[in-house]
Chains A and B, each alone.
Chain A
Amino acid sequence: MRVRVKHIKIEEAVFISHLDLVTTMNRALRRAEIPFRLTEGFNPRPRIAYGQPLALGAASAAEYFDVFLQERLDPGQIKNMLNSALPRSLEVSEAREVPVKSPSLMSLVKAADYLLQAQVREGENLNVDLMVESMLKSESLNMENKKGQKKDLKKLLLKIEWQGFSGKLGKIRIVGRAGSELNLNIKDFCQFLVSFSGGFFQTPCMVYRKELYLKGQHNLETPFGMEVKL
């Protein structure tokens, strides 16, 4: 049996690296006594596969992994069992069965929905609506990241939505391409935002991943199969 688990990553857990998150989940699966299958080979581990790694420091409402089980269990029960073995910062919000033979979760990921919050420079104003409009109109959005790589983020952005100020923080929603083929590195976008705004927005940006999107039959869909219209 194959079960897809959705969980949050908030509060203290935002500072767990992806690698440590996998280890943490492995331990939770053991504590919950979930009958997982083990990987073969030298170093047997629970057979789980995450969708898309999240950068350290980012929060998430939607972390997904698939786990392969040795026996059938009710997914609702799996959710409860896991939650009895996880701190609230990593709570499982939902678990559903998916066909064992379906492609790997990682290969299906196509986009991710983020909410960014960045501090703005004191005593300055910027017409952010105008800035976002010009981002949308530009043919290319070039930037050079810290590793010296030159990137054009235009084709990696599916949506940009300015959501206004909250005190000294500006909020922007973006939907970026994600996955093995085209992938928007959210840190790259944050850096781009800072320079495109002329330093009005400041690093570091606090990132919150709201959802992952998979390749669906016609459009994008959530990992649990709900169609999405951006």
Chain B
Amino acid sequence: MKDLHYQEWKDLYTVEKPVRYVGGEWNLEKKQFDQVQVTVAMAFPDVYEVGMSHLGLKILYHLINSRPEYACERVFAPWPDREKKLRDQGRLLQTLESGRPLKDFQVLGFSLQHELLYTNVLNMLELGGVPWRNRDREGWPLVIAGGPGTYNPEPLADFVDCFFLGEGEEAILDFLRVVAEAGKNQDREEVLQEIVKLPGWYVPAFYELVKVNNFFCPEPGKDNIPRPVKKQVVSSLEESYYPHKIIVPFTEVIHDRISLEVSRGCTRGCRFCQAGMTYRPVRERSLETLQEMAGELLKNTGYDEISLLSLSSTDYSCIGELVDFLLSNFRGLGVGVALPSLRADNFSVQMARRVQQVRKTGLTFAPEAGTQRLRNVINKGVKEEDLLETVKTAFAAGWWSVKLYFMLGLPTEEDEDVKGIVELLRKVARAGKELAPRRPQITVNVSTFIPKAHTPFQWEAFIGREDVQRRQKILQEGLRGRIFRLSWHDYNMSLVEALLARGDRRAGKILEMVWQKGSRLDSWSEHFRPEKWLEAIQTSYSPELVYGPFPTEIPLPWSHLSAGVSRDYLLQERDRAFQGCITPDCRQGCQNCGLCGSLNVSMEIAGGD
């Protein structure tokens, strides 16, 4: 962007947060298109501040650009004021680096982080000048997608050309090589045929929908089309790519710090958690590598905070040494260390004490359920005494602000369990009043359980509106007073998530319908229009497909995909859930989920085990 001309400047000046659309950031990578073989537009389907907090996007951006033969640029969802301007002026959605419209790229990739972003995917396609239905496309771009949403991709399968399951660091380069080679003839069909041969890729064009019991399920339409498509993992996190220079936004974003990925995968086996099931196996980075990464990243970005990223940070084998290293080397520069949600035990509190010497923030725990019985069902076995012990230690150590996450609608949940949340929190409050240095603040965040694909609870029911309202009332009435700050996820948003998380191709029709009626930015309460969704579900969909439960014998819309964990394991875990049996952490002994054998990988633990 050279010297701004008045009109250009005015277009940006008259929208909210123009910095979302201008680029120019430190460590930005901009290439000459005539010097590369494949051009990629990486799209995060939410606004700039959200997308630029996402580590995966940055890793892929720098990885692809590290190769001289490829160019990768970024694009984010426009806010409605910007979208209106683009439409009024007949302009297309463009990337930040070079201002090129999306239709001018050979590959357009979307990160599917959660279902409320899906209308933005359709919107960005259309605004970018790309036919949003895959069957209407001729030639470039190839529209691909990755991220958690690919574990049930069916609602987007009429709009995306190729889904990639799993971790993209190695696969993306293989993919681009194929696109460069096969793409020479500019023949879309030829390119897709080569892509489907690569492991981990689901290409809907080569599958036929077959109605089996409740659902339309994809079946291979010809020979040599994979079933199941298996998720891919990098076998060694230690060896895998990590950028040393990461792009730094000018403006404040949701996570304004270095995310140091200490490990990937989680061994705890919580039965509701899709991330836990799909990011297996656990692979850790070595202490030495993390020390080097931390130093390089701080030097090249200038951030003053490092966050240790993983599904369960305090499980990292060398957490103590890593924290000590970061504090002793960087505290003098005013660099702080942040730990996300903690396991509820004293070790974690001690860790938190060390890191918060630089900057004290609140502590977060996620018990998820209010009674021991229900915690055992979901395999989050933390005992009440341990949780209370932990918060007491935290309060006594000087924290006065804690945050606790719970879910409503878990399988076998009764009103009693929700009363259990109230009792548990009252005990926490009592401890806080006694021990905290000042009046405690207990933030309670209650989300709605969504049964997710490839988890032991994928067949379970999604909670009905009346039950949720009654249980929310129990919480409200039980947790009065200034100590508690109660917030919950909007039920209608959860309903839409459930629709898309477990729906088949027909849910995609609802998605398209609702988008065409003007829905977008559904994760933003100021833009979410529940009436549009509810009407569409009522008139054109079967609500049973949202609510379930489903019999375990029938194929599901994602049965043609595998996250590596065996179906037997999921069924077994489901049984154990209903019996209230805990399944221990697989670091303590293999639980036979089938993953390591199926994907030919194994756990990678730092410092040996």
A49 contacts B by Cβ under 8 Å:
no
Q: Interface size of B by Cβ–Cβ distance < 8 Å?
A: 35
Chain B residue at minimal CB-CB distance from A43: B359
How far, in angstroms, from A119 to B25 measured CA to CA in the complex?
Answer: 30
In the complex, chain A residues whose CB is within 8 Å of the CB of B359: 42-43
Q: Do the beta carbons of A12 and B251 come within 8 Å of each other? A: no
In the complex, chain B residues whose CB is within 8 Å of the CB of A168: 6
How far, in angstroms, from A43 to B305 measured CA to CA in the complex?
Answer: 11
Dominant SS at the A interface? mixed
Q: Do the beta carbons of B19 and A29 come within 8 Å of each other? A: no
Query: Which residues in chain B, 54-107, are within 8 Å of chain A measured between CB atoms?
Result: none
Q: Do the beta carbons of A20 and B250 come within 8 Å of each other? A: yes
Q: Do the beta carbons of A119 and B6 come within 8 Å of each other? A: yes
- Residues A30 and B22 in contact in the complex (CB < 8 Å), given A10-B3, A24-B250, A57-B13: no
Chain B residue at minimal CB-CB distance from A32: B302
- Minimal beta-carbon separation of A7 from chain B (angstroms): 14
Q: Interface size of A by Cβ–Cβ distance < 8 Å?
A: 38
Q: Do the beta carbons of A31 and B302 come within 8 Å of each other? A: yes
Q: Do the beta carbons of B19 and A20 come within 8 Å of each other? A: yes
In the complex, chain A residues whose CB is within 8 Å of the CB of B333: 30, 38
How far, in angstroms, from A209 to B358 measured CA to CA in the complex?
Answer: 38
Q: Do the beta carbons of A12 and B302 come within 8 Å of each other? A: no
In the complex, chain B residues whose CB is within 8 Å of the CB of A20: 19, 250-252
- Residues A27 and B334 in contact in the complex (CB < 8 Å), given A13-B250, A43-B359: no
Chain B residue at minimal CB-CB distance from A44: B334
Which residue of the partner chain, among B12, B26, B28, contacts A15 with CB atoms under 8 Å?
A: B12
Q: Do the beta carbons of A15 and B22 come within 8 Å of each other? A: yes
How far, in angstroms, from A119 to B14 measured CA to CA in the complex?
Answer: 14
Q: Do the beta carbons of B24 and A11 come within 8 Å of each other? A: yes
Q: Do the beta carbons of A12 and B26 come within 8 Å of each other? A: no
Q: Do the beta carbons of A15 and B304 come within 8 Å of each other? A: no
Q: Do the beta carbons of B302 and A28 come within 8 Å of each other? A: yes
In the complex, chain B residues whose CB is within 8 Å of the CB of A115: none
How far, in angstroms, from A17 to B17 measured CA to CA in the complex?
Answer: 9
In the complex, chain A residues whose CB is within 8 Å of the CB of B180: none
- Residues A87 and B19 in contact in the complex (CB < 8 Å), given A23-B252, A27-B301, A31-B302: no
In the complex, chain B residues whose CB is within 8 Å of the CB of A16: 19, 250-251
B38 contacts A by Cβ under 8 Å:
no
In the complex, chain A residues whose CB is within 8 Å of the CB of B14: 204
A26 contacts B by Cβ under 8 Å:
yes
Which residue of the partner chain, among A15, A85, A204, contacts B19 with CB atoms under 8 Å?
A: A15
How far, in angstroms, from A196 to B54 measured CA to CA in the complex?
Answer: 48
B298 contacts A by Cβ under 8 Å:
yes
- Residues A11 and B4 in contact in the complex (CB < 8 Å), given A27-B248, A43-B359, A204-B13: yes
10 pairs of residues in contact across A and B, judged by CB atoms under 8 Å: A14-B4, A16-B251, A27-B304, A28-B26, A29-B302, A45-B304, A57-B12, A57-B13, A59-B4, A168-B6
Besides the known contacts A12-B23, A33-B299, 8 further A-B residue pairs in the complex with CB atoms under 8 A apart: A11-B2, A27-B301, A29-B302, A30-B302, A30-B304, A42-B359, A42-B360, A57-B9
